[in-house]
Homo-oligomer: A and B are copies of this chain.
């Protein structure tokens, strides 16, 4: 910005000097002062426009348009409900895998325990949730924000 003003000043000075140098020649050549004035006007108008552009190039009006977005809704487990229901980590893990659509056998293989153990965990978590079926347990688990 300041650089531009300085440059403009220098250019203006140089131009004025140049104009004064050729001024007499124009006069000698019997050209009217009008042409001289027009030339000066054109040159300085151009310079002015250029300077104006330079001065304001970075003064943009920033328009912030806020757009509502569906939001990824990051899941946060309701630990208080987990605690109040007395659901253990293992039970919660099994519940998550049930929600993922795995069978007891698949869950057993996934977590390296016997299918019987998975059944025990699931039965306990069903009991704590008051669910009679795994689909119901999943539904309740999601409702209570125990699982995503």
Interface residues of A (CB under 8 A from B): 12, 16, 19-20, 23, 27, 33-34, 36-38, 40-73, 98-103, 131-140
Contact = CB atoms under 8 A, between A and B. Distances in A.
Given A62-B65, A65-B62, A44 B48 contact: yes
Contacts of A72: 68
Contacts of A44: 40-42, 44-45, 48
Chain A interface helix/strand/loop/mixed: helix
Contacts of A140: 101
Contact of A135 (B23, B62, B138): B138
Contacts of A68: 67, 69, 71-72
Given A67-B64, A101-B138, A135-B98, A27 B20 contact: no
B38 A37 contact: no
Given A20-B34, A60-B61, A71-B71, 5 more contacts: A16-B41, A48-B52, A63-B65, A65-B67, A135-B135
Contact of A40 (B37, B57, B100): B37
A62 to B, nearest CB: 5
